[in-house]
Structure 1
Amino acid sequence: MQKTHDYGTAWRILRPESITDQIFIKAQRIRTLEEKKVSKVDEDITGEYIGIVNYCIIAMMQLECDENAPVELAADKVSDLFDEKATETKELMFAKNHDYGEAWREMRISSLTDLILMKLRRVKQIEDNEGLTLVSEGIKANYQDILNYSVFALIKLGVK
């Protein structure tokens, strides 16, 4: 809500592919930092995972916005949409955690990063196929998985 106050809904100008690329940039930086173990910019991976969470929600909101919708949306509408997408994704996480027995708790953070990058490649392929899939989940489901992997990483990093 604070960033909406500061920036408005400038993100509305981004095409879905551009949002995917923004998420990719953040995930790739995380992987680079995991491998090199040194950062030359004073920002740790926690902020990057938080950015991925936010961009995933923005991506899901953008997917549902009519292309004729105005670029500027009311802050309360953005807040409601944000909460709706976060809640949907959280419910999916609880359902999957039930079925998978919270396997993520035993995973390495680097594996979560790799899964995010894999899901991003899937999203890019679906986008290149103009959103058409034969048997696979759609773009939104992949964004939800990416968001949840990021939340798992944040939990493992001790973020509350």
Structure 2
Amino acid sequence: MNTSADYDLIIKQCKDLFLKKAVDYGTAWRIMRLPSVTDQIFIKAQRIRTIEENKVSKVADDVPSEYIGIINYCVIAIIQLELPSGSDENLSIETVENLYDHCIKEAKDLMSSKNHDYGEAWRDLRIGSLTDLILMKIFRVKQIENNYGKTLASEGVKANYQDMLNYAVFALIKLTLSNGLPTKKI
């Protein structure tokens, strides 16, 4: 079990899809305000939870695809946070790739530090618990957004997006391991 290598394989697939969509659609997501991005993450996490509880999916998109969506929307949120307001909505593919890589590097560095301190405790969590942790983080972000970004004792929204991204990566690693599939086949 090599968390760093597994993480990189998951992210490679997410990034590949993200960049392909950037070619297809451009950076149309730049028009979204942060609460709208948060709501998109919520929709994906809530769908996963509903499927986990009902054991039935009536839409073709599978659970791994929804986790990939969570990862990529978290990247969008972090990019939106970090780009100055009023900056160009149309970004080149090269710029998008550089911004994506920067967001992932920071999230992976955070994951590595937490993984060290917590002794890879995520490996013993149920996938449903990872889904619940993502939902909890979404509700935290929504509350911070409702408070106009002000917090008294809590980390800001960026750290919450990074945690959601990392929980989704962990869920995808666990899903691929539990299904006996190589990580690269998500």
Q: Tell me which interval the TM-score lies in, with the shorter structure as reference length.
A: over 0.9
Structure 1 segment 113-128 matched on structure 2, within 5 A: 113-128=131-146
Identity %: 65
1:104 aligned to 2:130? no
Deviation at 1:74, TM superposition (A): 1.3
TM-score, normalised to structure 2's length? 0.85
Q: In structure 2, how many angstroms separate the alpha carbons of the residues matched to 1:33 and 1:54? A: 20
Q: Deviations over 1:69-107 (max 9, x none)?
A: 111111111110000000110011000000000000000
Structure 1 segment 8-157 matched on structure 2, within 5 A: 8-157=26-175
Deviation at 1:56, TM superposition (A): 0.2
Count of residues in correspondence between the two structures: 160
Q: Deviations over 1:111-136 (max 9, x none)?
A: 00000000000000000000000110
Q: Which runs of 4+ in 1 moved over 3 A?
A: none
Instruction: For structure 2, list consecutive stretches of 5 or more residues without a partner in the other structure.
Output: 1-18, 177-182
TM-score, normalised to structure 1's length? 0.98
Q: Deviations over 1:57-80 (max 9, x none)?
A: 010000011111111111111110
Aligned-pair RMSD on alpha carbons?
A: 0.7
